[in-house]
A = this chain, B = another copy of it.
Amino acid sequence: MFNAIVSADTLQAALDSVSVLVDECKIHLDEDGIEIRAVDPANVGMVDMTLEASAFESYETDGGLIGVNLARLEDIAGMGDAGQLVHLELDEETRKLHIAIDGLEYTLALIDPDSIRQEPDLPDLDLPAHVVIEGRDIARSVKAADMVSDHIALGVDSADELFYVDAEGDTDDVHLELDEGDLIDLTAGDAHSLFSLDYLKNMNKAIPKDAEVRMELGEEFPVKMHFDFAEGQGNVTYMLAPRIQSE
């Protein structure tokens, strides 16, 4: 059983954070909220998104697991204006999700969860450097790196207490430094890793410009990025695997 009401913009934010990585996903319907974990086909980018029951106007479930086509569900959520309420109700018998927005009813055929790629477990990494940065600064870093390269290096200089972004093109280079004054918070520790820019560009699309993003970084280690939405009742964690650096 699943019967819930949520605002259209909260639903969209939750779905957008996952759809930048995968087309289909499993949604866990738990008593304390919903959770989606997914990894892209190349096993490079992972996401763990939770939306607490308290983020919903009403929320009832006795647990369950459904598989959905994300683009389709996003289109439906997009039919609602920002504040409009979306009513979601699972029909256990037909395995369809009934979605209602202001007189509009959409019947969404679910996907067999077993046919969807297995969910990842995002490992605890205990990374040495932590940075809290505004979403708009991630956007700026990605845009700058994109001018010269397909890769982007993220690092922390523990001596100078700086977070930095590097991108090296065939002829041109980009370098961005943010110190404690530019950042919301910085726990210095040696960190430098190279990432595929395409993945970071996609993740950036789902990060609100005014979000406080907590990044965890290491030496040739994955980067983790955490941010909240829906007034803190929604939480997204991205993990992006590093590229091997050719010396």
Q: Which residue of B lies closest to A107 (CB)?
A: B173
Q: Mark A59-101, 1 if CB is under 8 A from B, else 0.
A: 0000000000000100110010000000000000000000000
A143 within 8 A of B: yes
Q: Which residue of B lies closest to A170 (CB)?
A: B109
Contacts of A174 in B (CB 8 A): 104-107
A side interface size, CB within 8 A: 25
How far, in whole Å, are A144 and B103 apart by their CA atoms in the complex? 11
- Interface contact A143-B107, CB-CB below 8 Å: no
Q: Mark A175-205, 1 if CB is under 8 A from B, else 0.
A: 1111000100000000000000000000000
In the complex where A144-B79, A147-B76 touch, is A171 in contact with B105 (Cβ < 8 A)? no
In the complex where A79-B143, A143-B79, A147-B75 touch, is A176 in contact with B103 (Cβ < 8 A)? yes
- Interface contact A176-B104, CB-CB below 8 Å: yes
A interface list, Cβ under 8 A from B: 72, 75-76, 79, 103-109, 140, 143-144, 147-148, 171-178, 182
The 8 closest A-B pairs by CB, nearest first: A109-B171, A107-B173, A105-B175, A104-B176, A75-B147, A106-B174, A108-B172, A104-B144
